[in-house]
Amino acid sequence: MALAAIIRAANRQNKSLDLSRKDLDQCPSLIGQLTKIEEIKLTNNRLTDLPKEMCLLNKLQLLNIGGNKFAVLPINLQHFTNLRSLIAYNNRIEILPPIVLNSLKNVTLLNLNNNNLKQIPAEIGRLKNLQNFSVDHNQLEELPFELCYLERLENLHLGYNHLISLPEDLGQLWRLKRLILHKNCLQELPASITNCGNLTVLDVASNELRTFPPEFETLPLKQFYYECNPLLQLRPVSSVQEEEVFALKETVARYIMNQMKNNYPNLWHMIITNPESRTILNEGSQCAVCKNFLLNTWLECVKFVATPQKGFKTSSTTDLMPINARLCSYKCFNKRHNFYGIASTTEPQ
């Protein structure tokens, strides 16, 4: 049946071929003669590899190999330089060969849902035209920072993995519209996510989040799902303030950076945008009240922001979002503002 379909496609010079559900253990090598073919579907068979003859299909734009038994993304894919869509869901894929990723520079859609991936190679950053990337239901524990090089990315699905954190430079994905992160182990979202100015759909349900990063409420979200997280609750209690004694490094860093910001703004900008400086100042931020610089000593605070009621979709049962903030001192903490200190309390026995 598969051979007959290939022969018909060759005789008619078809641009598409569907060999789905043909009970194939191997794809016929005759497929290499379909030099005009642009779309091939091989879904729901038992394939573990692709024939070397497929290397001749240099006009191929869509390949669907979902529902097979691939353990490695086929090496032959490196020859499909015109490929736009690669669909490989429901396989057993554990390895994404870097040589393949290096060659898929024109791919705009990559679907790797329901596989056994534990990591994504750094070469993912070479897919400069990638717009839709889906890796739901895998075993990912971390993501390479090169993922943030995908400046054309609009939809990113990472649900049902084991992610603990996200790349700090996630905000470089400024075209991102949809980010799905439910059912992971995320403890925080990177502060740079607020730079994703086109993000309208965010799903972080069923993670380990306690707060959201500063200025999170400025995101243009239309759909936001954040239920089943151990979010901080607004339960004011009295507290005792201790006298502050900053380390010399903290005191000097604050003084120099604040003086530079006020008197030499161009130099300030060069320093905070320089990659090496950013590594040194990785924990540095600014006080949410006075806006002065702080290095690695601060008061962890939070403000509670109501979720929008009009034109906003969510499944959360709480209407308050805890937004993280850092204050430089008790002097700022004691000023009039809407920030609360974060406290750990013990219930009486």
SS3 assignment for 119-182:
CCCHHHHHCCCCCEEECCCCCCCCCCHHHHHCCCCCEEECCCCCCCCCCCCHHHCCCCCEEECC
Helix H or strand E encompassing 325: strand 320-327
Spatial neighbors of 53 by CB under 8 A, at least 6 apart, are 29, 30, 31, 32, 33
Spatial neighbors of 137 by CB under 8 A, at least 6 apart, are 113, 114, 115, 159, 160, 161
Asked whether the predicted pLDDT for residue 254 surpasses 90, the reply is: no
Spatial neighbors of 60 by CB under 8 A, at least 6 apart, are 37, 38, 39, 40, 80, 82, 83
Beta strands in 176-319 (DSSP E): 178-180, 201-203, 223-225, 285-286, 293-294, 299-306
**What confidence tens digit (pLDDT) does each residue in 21-51 have?**
999 999 999 999 999 999 999 999 999 999 9
Gap between the Cα atoms of 34 and 242, Å rounded: 77
Residues in the chain: 349
Taking CA atoms, 43 is separated from 65, 87, 226, 245, in Å, by: 5, 9, 34, 65
Asked whether the predicted pLDDT for residue 344 surpasses 70, the reply is: no
Long-range contacts of 228-237 (CB under 8 A, 24+ apart): 229/204, 229/205, 231/318, 231/321, 231/322, 232/302, 232/322, 232/342, 234/304, 234/320, 234/322, 234/340, 236/340, 237/343, 237/345
**What confidence tens digit (pLDDT) does each residue in 148-167 have?**
999 999 999 999 999 999 99
Binning pLDDT at 50, 70 and 90, where does residue 258 land? low
Domains contained in the chain, CATH given:
2-225 (3.80.10.10), 248-307+316-341 (no CATH)
Gap between the Cα atoms of 284 and 156, Å rounded: 28
Taking CA atoms, 17 is separated from 37, 50, 108, 122, in Å, by: 7, 15, 21, 33
Binning pLDDT at 50, 70 and 90, where does residue 130 land? very high
**What confidence tens digit (pLDDT) does each residue in 280-330 have?**
555 667 788 887 776 766 677 888 888 776 566 776 667 788 888 888 777
pLDDT at 276: 64
Tokens 């030499």 correspond to 264
Q: pLDDT averaged over the chain?
A: 86
pLDDT at 349: 41
